[in-house]
Amino acid sequence: MDLPERVHVRTTINGQAQEFLVPPYMSLLDTIREIAGLTGTKEGCLDGNCGACTVDIDGRIVDSCLVLGAEVDGQSITTVEGLATKDGLHPLQQAFLEEAALQCGICTPGFLVASKGLLDNEPNPTEGRIRHWLAGNLCRCTGYDKIVRAVQKVAASS
């Protein structure tokens, strides 16, 4: 078979410079998962309604299923794998563990990336602000209670 057309992309993922050839139709989600091999970013709906594939692109919180891999040339992406450092877990990761803010865990990477996006810009959000910000991320297990409390805990300690 003929090889389909590919687009050349240079990007940074979790601080590492990366270079790919991606099919023009391939979503950023699939680029991250299938080409970069980072499967922490999850597929839930592929139409931008669940937030399981949330990543950070240059400080913006984005559903990676709605972005093409070919679009991120020159941009910097952070996924859940980029939250912890060699010094340990991100405070949100630690708080999610301590507050039992996950059950099945499939939405957790998206919630962590989205929550970090909030706290990076607003260190002390109200409960209402947290709920509003996270409304683009669906969780079906927790009823959100313990997720909101985990974010509040990190906000309070900042």
Residues lying near other proteins in the complex (CB under 8 A) are found at 1-2, 23, 25-26, 30, 33, 37-47, 49-50, 52, 79-81, 83-84, 89, 93, 96-100, 102-109, 112, 130-132, 134-149
| Spatial CB neighbours of 150, under 8 Å, sequence gap ≥ 6 | 92, 95, 96, 98, 99, 101, 115
Nearer to other proteins, 12 or 106 (CB): 106
Q: How many residues does the chain have?
A: 158
Nearer to other proteins, 9 or 65 (CB): 65
What residue ranges in the chain does DSSP mark as E strands? 7-13, 16-22, 54-57, 60-63, 76-78
> What is the nearest approach in angstroms of other proteins to the Cβ of residue 7?
14
> What is the nearest approach in angstroms of other proteins to the Cβ of residue 16?
15
Nearer to other proteins, 32 or 72 (CB): 32
Assign residue 81 a region: left if phi > 0, alpha if psi is -120 to 50, beta otherwise?
alpha
Nearer to other proteins, 11 or 30 (CB): 30
